[in-house]
Structure 1
């Protein structure tokens, strides 16, 4: 997984891979048959079908960083860019610079016929573009908007990816259009969320790398896509795929994004959909921009009326208007199929548990169930009312007229069904309502992360709840085969949808500052983010630095920049072997950690946020964070430090004034944090450091986390 080594005496990188594999297997011919793929454009690695014993022998070679099994990873969406302060006609843009931006998505491919990817008015691809466009079924070829499209199907013995760049799932089309889709007026899902859909950089180009199929996203596909995207000349890489929370050298997303970082390419990744539990955040390498998901200031609710006059609304995306005033209403318990498996639960509308005769044409009340819609539609039912223990914030698109309500209302409906002579109900088409925002979505994975305990993750938050964006007509809007609705726009939720918002914002900043490093762009996005509040205090475990604020990030004032050497020093501090780091960083097996400056402070990296994890039995804490900022604002400027800290925590910036005489000048400071937590108390305390020159506020969250005993 290392940097590209120099060719030795005319021996190519691929030939070096074959030789290394042959040494481990013990036979040249068997090694050539075992080789699956040689990664050689931007990094040096190979995938091969070998035994555990052969893998062990390979891992013992001094020139090998790591050997690990191929893992199948999971995929983790009009109004969102307005919500982020980027209205279409009022946002300042560098049109030429934006048109030169290339956003890469590693996903399920693309449906190029979607209106988000119309290339009318676009010139030819940027001169830096070195990619290609693969051919395949149901794919009409690239254009001047979608300038590159590749697909990968490297998993041995399994055709996990349909052999075409075309998107048969809808996910890749959705994420690509969020990041860089062109403006489409009047977009909606059957009239819901009607407005102008567009990406963060609507004039930018898109390169898609299809790495995922029905069974997920194999590691070997992901690494091949990183290898190509870096060499193809992209500017930002967007990865809405589950990540690892382990050793960086065993994680293809961490490895691929490290090589991207070396070329100045920012990789943004999904934080994961395992919330609301702590310690679930994924994709935590410090050179990745890790993105959590928020709601927006709207939600979709579905009104319901009972025959007794009772009215309520539930959470769902129901595209079906009623065809008559009322429909018969029954509960799953009363509609049970007496001949079904006794272990099936009719109350939760398990598949096969309901009588088709009793359900046909009716609305069915079900207890907490994720598969009720499929059961009822295949049983001939008209609709579903699903009583859930906890009404979540996510609205799913339903197979048939359906909505989720809480169990309290569910009990009232059940009482009506059990006491009425003929119970009836009607489910109306969903409507858009105002919502309190921003709030972290319930499903969004939380910190802390336990790989590098002194780096706060997630880094930032962006809209990921109920997002309308482009979609593939080769997939139904629910991805169910029984669903006959096929649209070029759909409403989906997930940190998958938050990630391309951050990717588009990064490309937007880079269109103004093409010479900025990926660390500088990441810093600009983080230090200008809007702090999010939960339970009356800052919530960095949920949202990192806060809600994305793209237009402010163009003029951040100061940035926390980092070079390759910064990351090398940090990895050395974390205990990674110098030889291994050298192979990863530059294909140099003789790198010594002693040759790099020792990382200073408790965290040792010039990160825009500050984080300390205590031991479970710690009470008193005292730590120092060392940071250096670069002036990218006005030449002559003075920044003053302001600290917001809770009772019992003291935070001091030393010095508390930073004076700059010119642009690109650097100034260093230390942040001393002291405090005390009660013994046996689990939780976190947070503070905020702000540098203010009266024109910019450069904000850094400070989080002290204490685990449970």
Structure 2
């Protein structure tokens, strides 16, 4: 058994939230400031729920307001996994609360954003893969997202018995929500600011489609002949079709995902008894002790729950990765070996392929071809008309034409359709590696193809073109998506992020019928399945693999499961991914290998506290995570090695581009393979780097036995901004345990 007990389990978190609007009835003579949401952390959690809630009211009342007003201001109390409450405060009141002895820290609430028929076969988890079905039925995956569509075929519960006995969750009843079953065993929603957007209801129902898509990717049952209007046809399924799902709706289609709702979702998931949390949400992280996902996932980890989170969609810029805490499994998006393209036939006989999904067959052999600039209302509108913005175009010049428009935002084809146009060719300066769904005949081309089309238009008075219906095309893979956020980790120079890559481009999964495929005005396309791209789609792939591993090893800790997934990954070619491990971490997920990794790098929560102490955190900044100000770094034994962390990957950031750097990394592995095993170290060092491992052989005589070793990395000076890749592999006759070693020279000292 690998699970370690938390050595500071009696310290639990207290959180307080506050709201972003002002109501006249809350304004007193001494309080004329606008009210915001804040997250306020208190001390150790009282055992009694009623007493905890009274404490929340009393704290608010101490701000010179009545008990009645305090009750009205408090919008939510956290009393299960956290001791917390949400309330409406002004900045002045928040400052006063921070000065109270009971309060640990105060953070302002933020709103965050949301970041298959073939993908599981592509990563090596076919229908025929070995499964422990009885154990898989006991795995519960909590999804924090936009809700779920309970009527979807992907969530039928045929053959599934009642929920596992450990389950403590609930499911409504809710308005417009048909209810749960033995597949969706729990559903809750959180909207503590009280501002439910128009068109949405207080219910876990998904009107956006994002949550339905991610949920079916992680654990949807088999649905034969699933497709999007006939393309990507096949059997849709999740990684663990027999596992259970619990939806925590923390995101709303028109207002995003509030920190206080995210924390409430984490608290509920921890209390309800989920095994894995999948969260495809992100935003900038100020630090690990004030970020809602960071705090929630830390407390989940302490309860034995692994959080899998998306890396973000801000690539290919460097240093953009989010959800980069060491206790989170951070997922980048990769491509599979298919894409969707539409053929463009020009009147001069030339043809090109455009990217995107356009399910419309042309009604004519060709249409007049016009650039946006040439369809401008007047001279003053020509600049905006090149992007085909609606107010800049002349309807008469657009009607019946295929328009060529520069990419300036989404929904270009909606504008062209509303003006009576025959289609749109969108010229993009971005790298095109994912297929956008269009609501009218349209496709995207890169700038070089766009320039050829513009030259053709300018060469004749009768330019014409036609956009053919989309077809599926086979391409080389895997590769990292251009949009997938990259390292280096902005939160720590000692920790490699992202951790792993998984399919996140053109993923077919379940969708909602409560919105059109694009959500644009005039779109009449609706489908039970759709194709989406993003690290949001990659995240549930890895959460599904984590659940798959959990079904074989129910007692493994979150760190052990994470280690198994990272060290078993398939290498991704650096030749087509110049950002190397900063793009894909350990590599592409390899589900069946992850279930039998041989060795794991295990950790408990104290290991993470040691890491944070090494990062410069102190008793005050640690308090929101450990639940008290009494945990001091000076009283904790320092973590071993350069990074103070028993992580399955290694990153050395050079101190200076002008001198060499030497660092010693200490690691400890646990034998989860054959009881009697011998592993030998194989090292690959890049030019200019020396890597040595001591000892070079690890012998085990029993299961769960631990062995320690050290890795010494010495790197010569490198050009600023350069990244080079090394590798440590522990090999036995049955297993290869891969640990990437990354050496990076920062762009500035």
TM-score by length of 2: 0.91
Structure 1 position 284, deviation (Å): 1.2
Partner residue in 2 for 1:534: 574
Report the CA distance shift for 1:35/1:63 in structure 2 as closer, same or farther (over 3 A).
Answer: same
Give yes or no for the alignment of 1:47 onto 2:57. no
* Alignment counterpart, residue 279 of structure 2, candidates 239, 244, 254: 239
Report the CA distance shift for 1:79/1:9 in structure 2 as closer, same or farther (over 3 A).
Answer: closer
Partner residue in 1 for 2:301: 261
* Alignment counterpart, residue 127 of structure 1, candidates 165, 168, 182: 165
* Cα deviation 1:293-343 (Å, max 9, x = unaligned): 0011111111111222211111111111223322232222222223x9637
Structure 1 position 524, deviation (Å): 0.3
Report the 3-state secondary structure (helix = DSSP H, G, I; strand = E; otherwise coil) of the residue aligned with 1:535.
Answer: helix
Contact 2:360 2:469 in 1 (8 A): yes
Structure 1 position 474, deviation (Å): 0.4
CA distance in 2, matches of 1:24, 1:524: 50
Partner residue in 2 for 1:402: 442
Give yes or no for the alignment of 1:210 onto 2:210. no
* Cα deviation 1:680-700 (Å, max 9, x = unaligned): 532112211000012111111
Report the 3-state secondary structure (helix = DSSP H, G, I; strand = E; otherwise coil) of the residue aligned with 2:342.
Answer: strand
Give yes or no for the alignment of 1:626 onto 2:666. yes
CA distance in 1, matches of 2:434, 2:48: 59
* Alignment counterpart, residue 64 of structure 1, candidates 82, 99, 103: 103
Contact 1:391 1:404 in 2 (8 A): no
Report the CA distance shift for 1:8/1:314 in structure 2 as closer, same or farther (over 3 A).
Answer: closer
Partner residue in 1 for 2:3: none
CA distance in 2, matches of 1:154, 1:462: 33
Contact 1:344 1:350 in 2 (8 A): no
* Alignment counterpart, residue 104 of structure 1, candidates 128, 142, 147: 142
Give yes or no for the alignment of 1:576 onto 2:586. no
CA distance in 1, matches of 2:63, 2:106: 12
Q: Tell which deviates more after alignment, 324-333 or 414-423.
A: 414-423
CA distance in 2, matches of 1:133, 1:15: 27
Contact 1:540 1:686 in 2 (8 A): yes
CA distance in 2, matches of 1:344, 1:286: 47
Partner residue in 2 for 1:415: 455
CA distance in 2, matches of 1:106, 1:15: 29
CA distance in 1, matches of 2:691, 2:219: 40
* Alignment counterpart, residue 468 of structure 1, candidates 484, 502, 508: 508
Give yes or no for the alignment of 1:447 onto 2:457. no
CA distance in 1, matches of 2:80, 2:158: 32
Give yes or no for the alignment of 1:659 onto 2:699. yes
In the alignment, structure 2 segments of 5+ residues that lack a partner are 1-10, 15-43
Listed as ranges, the matches of 1:340-419 within 5 Å are 342=381, 345-371=384-410, 372-419=412-459
Partner residue in 2 for 1:36: 75
* Alignment counterpart, residue 94 of structure 1, candidates 119, 128, 132: 132
Listed as ranges, the matches of 1:508-657 within 5 Å are 508-535=548-575, 539-578=580-619, 581=622, 584-585=625-626, 587-657=627-697
* Cα deviation 1:619-676 (Å, max 9, x = unaligned): 3110010010000001111110000111111101111111111000000010000020
Partner residue in 1 for 2:230: 191
Structure 1 position 53, deviation (Å): 1.9
CA distance in 2, matches of 1:125, 1:633: 31
Partner residue in 1 for 2:726: 687
CA distance in 2, matches of 1:579, 1:332: 57
CA distance in 1, matches of 2:160, 2:600: 33
Structure 1 position 184, deviation (Å): 0.8
* Cα deviation 1:87-134 (Å, max 9, x = unaligned): 11x211111111111111100001111211111222111111111112
Partner residue in 2 for 1:139: 177
* Cα deviation 1:67-94 (Å, max 9, x = unaligned): 1111010000711101110111x21111
CA distance in 2, matches of 1:59, 1:478: 45
Contact 1:77 1:498 in 2 (8 A): no
Structure 1 position 201, deviation (Å): 0.5
Contact 1:133 1:149 in 2 (8 A): yes
Partner residue in 1 for 2:13: 3
Q: Tell which deviates more after alignment, 155-164 or 380-389.
A: 155-164
Q: Tell which deviates more after alignment, 52-61 or 230-239.
A: 52-61
Structure 1 position 344, deviation (Å): 5.2
Report the CA distance shift for 1:456/1:502 in structure 2 as closer, same or farther (over 3 A).
Answer: same
CA distance in 1, matches of 2:651, 2:55: 42
Aligned CA-pair RMSD: 2.0
CA distance in 2, matches of 1:423, 1:245: 50
Q: Tell which deviates more after alignment, 686-695 or 25-34.
A: 25-34
Q: Tell which deviates more after alignment, 452-461 or 322-331.
A: 322-331
Give yes or no for the alignment of 1:301 onto 2:311. no
CA distance in 2, matches of 1:111, 1:344: 43
Report the CA distance shift for 1:481/1:25 in structure 2 as closer, same or farther (over 3 A).
Answer: farther
CA distance in 2, matches of 1:638, 1:22: 64
Partner residue in 2 for 1:219: 259
Partner residue in 2 for 1:321: 361
Listed as ranges, the matches of 1:143-154 within 5 Å are 143-154=181-192
Aligned residues: 705
Contact 2:360 2:441 in 1 (8 A): yes
Report the 3-state secondary structure (helix = DSSP H, G, I; strand = E; otherwise coil) of the residue aligned with 1:12.
Answer: helix
Structure 1 position 618, deviation (Å): 4.5
Structure 1 position 352, deviation (Å): 1.6
* Cα deviation 1:455-512 (Å, max 9, x = unaligned): 1111111110111111000011112232111111000000000000010000000001
Report the 3-state secondary structure (helix = DSSP H, G, I; strand = E; otherwise coil) of the residue aligned with 1:229.
Answer: helix
Report the CA distance shift for 1:445/1:580 in structure 2 as closer, same or farther (over 3 A).
Answer: closer
Partner residue in 1 for 2:29: none
Report the 3-state secondary structure (helix = DSSP H, G, I; strand = E; otherwise coil) of the residue aligned with 2:106.
Answer: coil
Contact 1:456 1:544 in 2 (8 A): yes
CA distance in 2, matches of 1:356, 1:494: 35
Structure 1 position 265, deviation (Å): 0.4
Structure 1 position 47, deviation (Å): 1.7
* Alignment counterpart, residue 479 of structure 1, candidates 511, 519, 522: 519
